[in-house]
Amino acid sequence: MSQAEPNQILLNVKDLHVYFGAIHALKGLSFHVKKGEIVSLIGANGAGKTTTLKAISSVTGYKGDIEFEGKRLAGLAPYEIVRLGVAHAPEGRGIFSPLTVYENLMMGAFTRSDKKEIEADLEHCFTLFPRLKERIEQRAGTLSGGEQQMVAISRALMARPKLLMLDEPSLGLAPLIVKQIFDIIKKVNSEGTTILLVEQNARMALKVSHRAYCIETGRITLSGLGRDLLNDDAVRKAYLGG
């Protein structure tokens, strides 16, 4: 893991509320991510983790304040948020099945025009995931689940983000692939990208995270260092199987 830079808050979420009709999905969430950190949001199904990332990406409306590098994100379009340096690999991967691996990755660079740098970032993705280079012309819909997750992470990296948000990257993957994905998350972070991770696999998430927040029915119930939460009795009971 890279060193977090003390006091340099990259993302600041303050009193976040999200409503879906009568459902009050987020009930005043406040948390922050410092430059250089890996921060996890852990919690059960339906706790509000995905909704939190969607609010940051401006895919869903909200009340409260979200600031990135001190700039308020309210009212910005999703592509403007990408342009500021926030990329999102969504739950379910959101890849474009009929398109090739190459085309999917290039979609991630849609806000950029620096051709040479884009080529360099593509090569960097292939260094992280050599399997994708072998499958560059393959339609993404025919890839395995693990390979599709590699595409989702690489596509987000192609935006060259300062903050990479990953929603359930381990979902539905075999343990060996999960380990590979988490190794890559650590590597990407050690190369300087700050990471906000949403996971139901709390054990893996806490192991790689500098800090984490537990979310229960739209509220943060606990927060702390990843390694401390791994040993916390309440966390063990609720999220780590006792």
Contact footprint for ligand ATP (CB under 6 A): 20, 23, 25, 43, 45-51, 91, 200
Q: Which residues are registered as beta bridge partners of 89?
A: 166
Nearest approach, Cβ of 136 to ligand ATP (angstroms)?
A: 31
CB-nearer residue toward ligand ATP: 60 or 100: 60
In the block, tokens 């403007």 appear at: 80
173, 145 in Cβ contact below 8 A? yes
> Using H for helix, E for strand and C for coil, what is the string for 182-205?
HHHHHHHHHCCCEEEEEECCHHHH
CB-nearer residue toward ligand ATP: 53 or 208: 53
Nearest approach, Cβ of 210 to ligand ATP (angstroms)?
A: 21
β-strand 163-167 against 86-89: which pairing, if any? parallel
CB-nearer residue toward ligand ATP: 43 or 108: 43
3-state secondary structure of 119: helix
CB-nearer residue toward ligand ATP: 2 or 170: 170
Nearest approach, Cβ of 39 to ligand ATP (angstroms)?
A: 15
Q: Which residues are registered as beta bridge partners of 219?
A: 216
CB-nearer residue toward ligand ATP: 52 or 148: 52
B/e letters for 26-48, b = 16+ CB within 10 Å, e = fewer, are: beebebebbbbbbbbbbbeeebb
Nearest approach, Cβ of 187 to ligand ATP (angstroms)?
A: 25
Minimal CA–CA distance to 129: which of 85, 89, 76?
A: 89
The torsion angles phi and psi of 196, rounded to 5 degrees, stand at -115, 115
Nearest approach, Cβ of 46 to ligand ATP (angstroms)?
A: 4
